[in-house]
Structure 1
Amino acid sequence: MNSLGRCFMKLIKIAVLALFIMASVFVCTDGGFAESLDCEGCHIKISPAMVKDFHRGKMSESLTCASCHGEAHMSKNDVEKAVLPTIATCSQCHEDQAKQYLSGKHALGLIALEAMPYTHMQPKSFIEGQKGCGGCHTLGLTDETKRQTEGRHYYKYGMDCQNCHTRHSFSKAEASEPEACMTCHMGFDHAQWEMWSGSKHGVTYLMNRDIDPENRDRAPKCQTCHMSGGDHRVYSAWGFLGVRLPEADAEWMGYRATILKGLGVLDPEGKPTARLDVVKAGQVARLTKEAFDAERARFTAICAQCHSPNFVSENMKNADALLKEGDKLFAQAIEIVAGLYVDGIITPKEGQLKYVDLLTFYDVNTKIEGILYEMFMDHRMKTFQGAFHLNYDYSTWYGYAKLKKDLVEIKELAQKMRATAGK
């Protein structure tokens, strides 16, 4: 055989070998069986958008589907074997970011959810099915085992880093934009998106992003302040409840003690209850001066990158002062409604102390308590959150003014209830 013939035979052998290799790669047959781990062979037909999205991101350059989902799933008949990634999965490559995240408030989302009596009064589908509070708050779950042993079998698709780095492109650029925060931080009790986007900070950032996209640091976005330097530990001085202990201002401490009674953290006599431990675990309030001061100093330093020290301190002081004024109105309202319990005009539920319980949310005994709940979770939140996010419309008309309106309604309703009861 001449050299040309030998060369031709080699080409045939190479072609046959190539066909053999290709045949051994994951091929979706009519039965849907996967011969190997070329996941895309099936998924380009079943879920093409998922495959396309994965290739839009950088992870596709160095990882395969099996890197995160495991190798056990081989066909349409064993989809339950596909591992759904968790924070623990992501930490294998992103160890520092995972540690930062787990030390912040986002990782405490489930603890905060479980702490609310309201949670345990709701249908499982509402909490577990990602159609209610669990839609955001299951981000505190770190692994599959915990999801299955928490007493509720929480929805398994919302418990990892993809809450911000949306699957399957897992884009850092996408997660770095303020809209990534909007899914959770909007609406009734945490309207931070509306506050920020309507503030001078937000308006300037959003306009400048279109006008001069190369100069995006002209105004801060959510991540500028809450994830400074890319730190995934999201935390704040006042915490979700807007409560700190101890309080040097004696007048304010009086209002706060009343609020803590309403939250069930203190009993009607002012003694700590078991809920104090839950508040500590969820870190929804700052319970030492050192904890509050550390966060206040951190945020002050962040603000000082753009503003003068005097400007920063004055704005912080004024926002604190507005929260105090809001607490004054709120404490008055709590005491009025609590008096209705004490005098037997409102009958407590089984196991409830003869006092207001704000953490039952709308599952209350009377209309007046529903108004009190909105005063707490809606209008008080908007008062102090609007102040710190520099949205004066929110802190005024959606917050402080509504607190005054609520107090008037509560006073009138309490008078009518007392007149009806003859007390």
Structure 2
Amino acid sequence: MNRKGQNVAVTLILLIIFLITLTQLSWAQSTDEQCLNCHEGQTPNIIDEWEKSKHYEGGVGCYTCHKAEESDKDAQKHYNDVYISPIVSPKDCSTCHQEYVEEFNESLHEKGAEFVIAFEEKNKDPNYLAYKVQGAASSHAGCEQCHGSRVKVLDNGKLDPMTWPNTGIGRINPDGSRGTCSACHTRHAFSIEESRRAEACYTCHVGPDHPQKGIYQESKHGAIYEAEGDTWNWTAPVGEWGVENYRAPTCATCHMAGLGDTEATHNISERLSWELETPLSSHTDNWKEERSKMKEVCRQCHSSSWVNGMYTQADAVVELYNEEYYKPVTKIYNDLKERGLLTKKKYDEAIDYKYFELWHHEGRRARMGAFMQGPDYVQWHGFYELAKHKAEFNDMVAEIKVAGGSEDKTSTESLPAIPYLGTGLAILALLAAMYAIFKD
């Protein structure tokens, strides 16, 4: 074929592609119109939110996101020959936002469901409490709403109502993808302002085991945000949202924003140098590199000496927790198990809960408080409670050893974490009373 013939062939191919694309767009627009005609009466607020979104401005309609092939696991015949999926997964979002989805897939958020369904899937320990002690319904309506469920499709093609609806951050979708973008960018507005504000994270990062909401609100960062956040520019384009738009960081600022030499990312784990949610804290992979990224963010507002000092203090808190609380308590707890002084069942004795709460509640609050500048969470919600729990734990150990006929009843390992002055004070009180009676 000569050059002229090649040019004609290329032109025909491009024309065919253009016509196919035009036909698809026309079909999608026609379908979107049918969606609007129906849902304006059924779910008017959804339409209102969408009409205020950037999706609307860009011509992205209902069918663009909810389109499904008949062969898809979660495809539902909506009307005529139109198949849709109620679930818009990261795989669907990646059509336009591939880079963001790839970054998300590298994060701990993507693995959120694994932490909750591990027992159900593989009979592992971490979620025994959620599934077997409290009951599966508790996990479906509780843990999985933040961590994510494995969405199941029933034989009739409908979604299992015990696993859907769910917007958990690590949700395992029928198409094999993980996560849900609407956990942070709630549908159907998908507001960038909403996802940048601290409140976007409050649904899940709250409570005794995920205390970030309270810590942030207590910190000076949170205090400034509460005082003047409504005046800040939250809608600056991606890549242009910087320190000139706000005076204190939110969660998204520290963990996601591109500041200084750092690049914006949807991998919220990228700048973490410690694992603070695990029973025993250890450094993350490539932790020095990850720490340097977070320090670069901090240095946009703080001097290097300030940043280094903060990390020195926080590291010391983690080491104190590891060495003085978690390790010795775990050693005693495991010893009781090995010697048969505790049952092999989990969470059927009071000491099981005491041990669990020590690391899962108080331990997390102390460690996370140190890295997020929440002093009350380090001290009174953290180490004070740790010391108290350790003392109560050791009292339980002593009782268990006596009841079990242990020869090691006077082991110093079972002494309280703080001095017990009850008996001494009682004796002093008795002597004082006797003196008051007989002094005359």
* TM-score normalised by the chain length of structure 2: 0.68
Code of the aligned partner of 1:331? K
Local SS of the residue matching 2:348: coil
Matches within 5 A, 1:175-214: 175-210=195-230
* Amino acid of the structure 2 residue aligned with 1:164: C
Give the Cα–Cα distance (whole angstroms) in 2 for the partners of residues 133 and 78 of structure 1: 37
CA distance, structure 1, for counterparts of residue 224 and residue 403 of structure 2: 54
- Structure 1 portions without partners, runs of 5+: 1-24, 27-33, 244-258, 261-284, 350-362
Counterpart pick for 2:44 among 20, 44, 48: 48
Partner amino acid for 1:201? H
Matching of residues 295-374 of structure 1 within 5 Å: 295-327=290-322, 328-349=324-345, 363-374=346-357
- Return the alpha-carbon distance in structure 2 between the equivalents of residues 234 and 142 of structure 1: 24
| TM superposition shift of 1:92 | 0.6
2:67 to 57, 62, 70: 70
Give 1:157 deviation, angstroms.
Answer: 3.7
Matched length? 331
Classify the secondary structure of the residue corresponding to 2:145: helix
Q: Secondary structure at the match of 1:218?
A: coil
Asked whether the equivalents of residues 44 and 51 of structure 1 are also in contact (C-alpha less than 8 Å), the reply is yes
Q: Is the 8 A contact 1:68 1:83 kept in 2?
A: no
Identity of aligned residues (%): 27
* AA matched with 2:182: Q
**Match of residue 90, structure 1, among 69, 72, 93:** 93
Cα shift readout 1:63-117 (whole Å, capped 9, x = no counterpart):
1110011177675799984442100111111111111111111111122323434
Higher relative contact order (CA 8 A, sep 6+): 1
Unaligned runs of 5+ in 2: 1-26, 71-75, 119-125, 172-179, 235-243, 259-263, 407-440
Matches within 5 A, 1:158-177: 158=167, 159=171, 160-177=180-197
1:240 Cα deviation from its structure 2 partner: 4.3
Query: Does the 8 Å contact 1:68/1:84 carry over to 2?
Result: no
In structure 2, distance between residues paired with 1:82 and 1:341: 49
Distance 1:152-1:409 versus aligned 2 partners, 3 A rule: farther
Distance 1:206 1:332, change over 3 A: same
Counterpart Cα distance in 2 of 1:142 and 1:305: 42
> Partner amino acid for 1:178?
A
1:137 CA displacement: 1.1
For residues 229 and 161 of structure 2, the distance between their equivalents in structure 1, rounded to whole angstroms, comes to 43
2:288 matched to which residue of 1? 293
Root mean square deviation of aligned Cα: 3.2
Superposition deviation, residue 43 in structure 1 = 0.5
Q: What is the alpha-carbon distance in structure 2 between the residues aligned to residue 211 and residue 302 of structure 1? A: 22
The CA distance in 2 between the partners of 1:35 and 1:102, in whole Å, is: 31
Deviation string, structure 1 residues 333-368 (Cα, Å, up to 9, x no partner): 22222232233211213xxxxxxxxxxxxx513111
Range with bigger deviation, 82-91 or 340-349: 340-349
Match in the other structure for 2:275: 239
Structure 1 213/96 Cα, relative in aligned 2: closer, same or farther at 3 Å?
closer
* Separation (CA, whole Å) in 2 of partners of 1:313 and 1:400: 23
CA distance in 2, matches of 1:242, 1:321: 17
> Is residue 2:422 matched to residue 1:393?
no
TM-score (norm 1): 0.70
